[in-house]
Amino acid sequence: MIDVIKARWFQKYRTIKYPMAPPPPLPERFRGVPVVQTQRCQKECDACIQACPVQALERMPGRSCIVTDLGRCIFCGACQDACPSQAIFFDRDHRMSTDKRGDLLVSQERQLPLARGMSDAIHRVLGRSLKLRQVSAGGCNACEADVNVLNTLAWDLGRFGIQFVASPRHADGMLITGPVTRNMASALQATYDAIPTPKIVIATGACAISGGLFRGHDACLDGVHGIPVDLFIPGCPPHPLTILDGLLRLIHRLPADEPADRDPQGGF
């Protein structure tokens, strides 16, 4: 017993203090929202659009404005590498979760509105103790792994009253990962139906939002359809900090910020 106490004393406090303190440092390879710098972007050049493997970029007709669909983006960096004028870069902001699918369409003229969270009526019922059923609807296990990180000692998701449960009948909502394969469609719907009302749905990762790299494949349904989604968390996979930020916004533990200035150089 004394050895255990000594070991615990040596290890000290391991759980991050966020959101009561600044978030932990992000890895050097982390990529946030792709930002297009207007003054550098060449109207006649579509190199970034052609390089994107998931068709997440589109130029508005007759204009130099490029729209990025964060629901499709896999943050691979191909657009940045292909741009001859170096007009595209990825910011370092982990905050990317939104309430609506359409809010994930961003451009030089339209900033990313962050999630405002569940309605006050639902928050009064679920806000202090949120139980989620995680459903892997054909995912590659990358999003699932980063969701599991939140249950580790360093992140301790349970301190916010958010826990994952085994049965949908004990859940307040479900967190979906994967492109929703045809074989998982009925199971996903059955899980949703088994959750008592009021309930919430969280689409996590590009696959759950749009199908991701599997979009258009005959074996999948290109993400969650037919089930109302309350929170969209983009990424491939989303960083655990991005997932945590979205969950905390959902339960009103973080303020409903105004859209962030994503480009100090004026690109947004």
Is 203 part of a structural domain of the chain?
Answer: yes
Q: Is residue 79 part of a domain?
A: no
- Please classify residue 19 by burial: count the beta carbons closer than 10 Å to its beta carbon, then call 0-12 exposed, 13-18 middle and 19+ buried: middle
**pLDDT tens, position by position, for the chain (268 residues)?**
788 777 767 766 789 999 999 999 999 999 999 998 878 888 778 899 999 999 999 987 766 688 999 999 999 999 999 999 999 999 999 999 999 999 999 987 778 999 999 999 998 888 878 999 999 999 999 999 999 999 999 999 999 999 999 999 999 999 999 999 999 999 999 999 999 999 999 999 999 999 999 999 999 999 999 999 999 999 999 999 999 999 999 999 987 654 455 544 433 3
CA distance 132 to 115: 18
Q: Is 13 among the domain residues? A: no
Confirm whether 106 is domain-assigned. no
SS3 call for 127? coil
Question: 189 is in which domain, residue-wise?
Answer: 120-250
Helix (H, G, I), strand (E, B) or coil at 19: coil
In this prediction, residue 106 carries a pLDDT of 92
CATH number at 139 reads: 3.40.50.12280
DSSP 258: P
Q: Is residue 84 part of a domain?
A: no
User: Burial, 118: exposed, middle or buried (Cβ in 10 Å; 0-12, 13-18, 19+)?
Assistant: buried
214: tokens are 């599997």
Q: How many domains does the chain have?
A: 1
Is 246 a domain residue? yes
Listed in order, strand segments (DSSP E) in the chain are: 34-36, 57-59, 66-69, 88-90, 105-106, 130-136, 162-164, 173-177, 200-204, 231-233
